[in-house]
Structure 1
């Protein structure tokens, strides 16, 4: 059954070549990343034909939690991935994937639902068809929600509640954005999610206009043919949208036994200055068993800076972990580090910060996570990231712009969250911040 199914995939892919050539736009290449990109039947695609026996294929869908019509519905739709379709049952898909030695994953972010398959190169037609079925014709049966998906939603939420870092991330996003990017990533116990709600959301977001297909280890011609074979009749739809992200700020305190953590941050439009400032502050050493030489290295690994990029917004956070006493000390040290930057950045520190930001930006484009980043950019701009432009933008960051950003964080309202034994954790104003 499996061999005949795979053979059928190959035959249909080959027979569609002429039709695909007529429908696709001229493929373009981004030499610095090695991707070729194209638009086929209204679907944006990009692929990097690298040598090696393994192919990674990602369907990146503009359907993350920020677009949820009902809280938790994006999480439910993501968890319906790889369940039953008219073509094959979820059990059959699992057995065939294992027989071929491949793997299937699904991921939910605030921007996207990402369906990813990794497999031996020759099995591209089979896995492309499988992901296409998940996208275009999931059964979304009522009993699947009750018996399979519902318990998975509860398990995800339970595991997330036991992770202080995740709890803090949810809190900081809620304080920073409120709606949109501030919506919970996972379904909550209070969310009423019906199968009709999931079906309606699927119809709205699983469309050509919300889809980018990105691959590593496949050539553009083969990928184009497969798109024409299996997704030509997918609905065109309209691109998902939300109001422009607004930064509000504020402070949340969340009691939990999952661990102690304090995080504060600031958000604005996407800017490489955020990345350079995060690199200047540092805190996470690049050498094992060493605290590094960044400004936050004085906290001995108890505080670190990070930038989370979203479509239309950059969120810079500084997070402190440990005991309440260690967090209080590390939080104060983080504020002192910001004051140091606000007083002026030396050419040496700026150069190091720019180098770190360039590495982080380019490293984020590696591996399966990199395919998701490429897909998100493809949906937002219509083209794959161009590393030369990314590097140029980061190198154009000035000491004055980094200094100005640090001053804004110190003087303007920020978002803050304390997680854990909150009675012993400091408030933002006790650290000299405004929340």
Structure 2
């Protein structure tokens, strides 16, 4: 066992190394911030890098890997890779990583989406060298040990699986993706609790997956709160050990996404939820009408003490206990315009009926132009606001880079949103209703309606 004195010496050395790497002149908080808020992109030693300097006292650094559930060859590998992050590496133990990061005031996290695995560190600006080195170690030197898998990975995975499948809203959205896309983007973000872990998930399979996805072409390093010069400097120093290609030669790519549509109904005693979804807007081919439709349908008020202008907030204002919201969920080559509803079964049913009626009113052209103008303004704000918020912007930029080769830029979407008219919205809503919907119901299936009862095609 490492002695407390030895651990303290290691942590102190890490701090001294970080202090020694500080530039002679520091920017002050009074420095002018970037007016555009855009990320600068570059290629450092084969690794895609994006950075934005907000000139603040803290920095967020993230590795975004093309390793989301869409790309995993077996269920659970993405989650396994997420849980192994910041555990033992060839240079540091998990305990040392924890103690050193805490001593520097840093925060470490790992998460995943359907298209990306995100490893991120938040810290004081001057400690960039230490955390850049740490992230490089995680993707190039993590030890995928058997004892950690059985003692730490499996128990946590079971807890997360059960939490996920007890969350009816999350389960309904997961099922909607399944009927919409089948495989790929339709793969569950968590394997079912009944999935035999020994059949699909063990430390060897996870290590093999890591070998394929922790390669420079599949990674992007994104920094918010650091200059591009500083980021490039430490990338050149610490990321040389990251593989340029998989040692085993294997590569996991996803086929192009195809939208199917359909319906799935799941009995659940933990609550009630429905998702009514349609083909949405992708990163690579933004559909401004979809963004405006999501804002026009809405569901939640954007102004305190106000019901809100959106169609669903008005239509369901007297429905007790209902939570409803419409949004576009974008991916690299597809998207899902989803209306999510949860609450008492009777309220969810009323909300689902209101959703279809609201879409029909848009398709009939009966929505006042003033309401359309409000939706256009709100959709524009949502698109721009997502690029300013630190965590969402890092995920958007990183996912865009690893999946499409370039950072996500909202400019073309915003320009398109400004041109959306009532007529174009009418045509878009009509096309959605004439096509196939993806409907997922979880809860009391006696009360929750079928898609056919709502007048939807599946």
Q: Structure 2-normalised TM-score? A: 0.87
Aligned equivalent of 1:59: 63
Aligned equivalent of 1:193: 201
1:198-347 equivalences in 2 (<5 Å): 198-237=206-245, 241-268=253-280, 270=282, 271-297=287-313, 298-300=315-317, 302-344=323-365, 345-347=367-369
Aligned equivalent of 1:174: 178
Offset of residue 10 of structure 1: 7.0
Q: Structure 1-normalised TM-score? A: 0.92
Aligned equivalent of 1:26: none
Deviations 1:129-153 (A, max 9, x none): 1111111111011111111011111
Report the Cα distance in structure 1 between the residues aligned to 2:417 and 2:163, rounded to whole angstroms: 37
Which of residues 361, 368, 371 in structure 1 aligns to 2:383?
A: 361
Partner SS for 2:240: coil
Partner SS for 1:364: helix
Report the Cα distance in structure 2 between the residues aligned to 1:311 and 1:66, rounded to whole angstroms: 11
Aligned equivalent of 1:348: 370
Report the Cα distance in structure 1 between the residues aligned to 2:289 and 2:151, rounded to whole angstroms: 47
Report the Cα distance in structure 2 between the residues aligned to 1:62 and 1:289, rounded to whole angstroms: 42
The answer as to whether partners of 2:173 and 2:340 remain within 8 angstroms in 1 is no
Partner SS for 1:264: strand
Deviations 1:266-306 (A, max 9, x none): 12552222111111111111123432121111212543211
The answer as to whether partners of 2:18 and 2:127 remain within 8 angstroms in 1 is no
Offset of residue 219 of structure 1: 0.9
Deviations 1:309-365 (A, max 9, x none): 111111011122222211121111111100000012543233222211111112222
Deviations 1:146-168 (A, max 9, x none): 11011111111111112111111
The answer as to whether partners of 1:9 and 1:129 remain within 8 angstroms in 2 is no
Which of residues 349, 367, 380 in structure 1 aligns to 2:403?
A: 380
Q: Does 1:409 align with 2:432?
A: yes
1:87-166 equivalences in 2 (<5 Å): 87-166=91-170
Q: Does 1:391 align with 2:414?
A: yes
Aligned equivalent of 2:53: 49
Structure 2 unpaired stretches of 5+: 1-9, 24-33
The answer as to whether partners of 2:22 and 2:126 remain within 8 angstroms in 1 is no
The answer as to whether partners of 1:53 and 1:120 remain within 8 angstroms in 2 is yes
Aligned in 2, Cα 1:372/1:38: closer, same or farther, shift over 3 Å?
Answer: same
Aligned in 2, Cα 1:201/1:32: closer, same or farther, shift over 3 Å?
Answer: same
1:410-425 equivalences in 2 (<5 Å): 410-425=433-448
Partner SS for 2:70: helix
The answer as to whether partners of 2:51 and 2:226 remain within 8 angstroms in 1 is yes
Partner SS for 2:158: helix
Partner SS for 2:185: helix
Aligned equivalent of 2:6: none
Indicate the RMSD between aligned Cα atoms, in angstroms: 2.0
Aligned in 2, Cα 1:12/1:102: closer, same or farther, shift over 3 Å?
Answer: closer
Aligned in 2, Cα 1:35/1:412: closer, same or farther, shift over 3 Å?
Answer: closer
The number of aligned residues is 420
Report the Cα distance in structure 2 between the residues aligned to 1:31 and 1:209, rounded to whole angstroms: 30
Report the Cα distance in structure 2 between the residues aligned to 1:193 and 1:89, rounded to whole angstroms: 23
The 10-residue stretch of structure 1 (380-389 or 281-290) with the greater mean CA deviation from structure 2 = 380-389
Partner SS for 1:110: coil
Report the Cα distance in structure 2 between the residues aligned to 1:390 and 1:32, rounded to whole angstroms: 16
Aligned equivalent of 2:5: none
Partner SS for 1:423: coil
Partner SS for 1:57: strand
Offset of residue 112 of structure 1: 0.4
Report the Cα distance in structure 2 between the residues aligned to 1:289 and 1:394, rounded to whole angstroms: 27
Offset of residue 108 of structure 1: 0.8
Partner SS for 1:350: helix
The answer as to whether partners of 2:294 and 2:326 remain within 8 angstroms in 1 is yes
Partner SS for 1:122: helix
